[in-house]
Amino acid sequence: MSASGNTEITVCPRGPLLVRGEIELRDANGRPIEPERGTVALCRCGASARKPFCDGSHKLTGFERPRGDAA
């Protein structure tokens, strides 16, 4: 998917970043990662086995949002 149009990112308290809309997602080496659906949940806790996508591991780790996060 190419990045164009409206994209919305929601920071979930003690959870992932929810990204809605068209995005271009790449790994650390610049290789494209195909979004699985129109809304993707990106891991913030670092514990997901499906990185960069959230797998719900934050619920088990007791993840607290980093200081300075707005939500």
Contact 48, 59 (CB under 8 A): no
2-61 is classed in which CATH architecture? 3-Layer(aba) Sandwich (3.40)
Q: Residue 6 is which amino acid?
A: N
Contact 11, 71 (CB under 8 A): yes
Render pLDDT for 27-71 as a digit per residue (tens, 0 to 9): 999 999 998 788 999 999 999 999 999 999 999 988 886 666 555
State the pLDDT at residue 57.
93
State the pLDDT at residue 65.
66
Alpha helical stretches, state H, the chain: 58-61
Longest dimension (CA), the chain: 35
Contact 68, 9 (CB under 8 A): no
